[in-house]
Amino acid sequence: MKFAVQINGSPYAGPAGEMAYQFVVAALSAGHTILQIFFYFDGIYHGLAAQMPPGDERQFTHRWHQLALQNNIDLVICISAAQRRGLMSLEESKRQNRADQDLAPGFRISGLGQLVEATINADRFIVFPGS
């Protein structure tokens, strides 16, 4: 079975991130495919490069990146939600005349069209809401 996943919750403000991660790991272990993980609303903070949680806390950004590399999963940050919260890719920061990039490795920024395409190609669409 092919899944598209949407995460709306901030990584450290509720259970959405951990629940989504555990679901994706379990689905992959059962032989399913994850086509895309779409980070929306405060879920975009999963892809923030500057996060530096203490070593004994969950390292969401790193975990998503490693999981995506190992399983060819598309990690997409919603461009509208990212812009509202000040998170930009290198391309967008150049366009806005900023010198930095906020996007963590393995993540990319795109629009809702990518989410629609993923849901069309998936057998199931699962949403992990924010708190």
78: annotated active-site residue: yes
Find how far residue 31's CA is from the centre of its chain.
Answer: 21
Q: For 41-70, b where at least 16 C-beta lie within 10 A, e where not — what string?
A: bbbbbbbbeeeeeeeeeeebbebbbebbee
CA–CA distance, 70 with 92 (Å, rounded to integer): 27
Which residue among the candidates 16, 73, 76, 78 is catalytic per the annotation?
Answer: 78
So which residues are the catalytic ones? Answer: 78
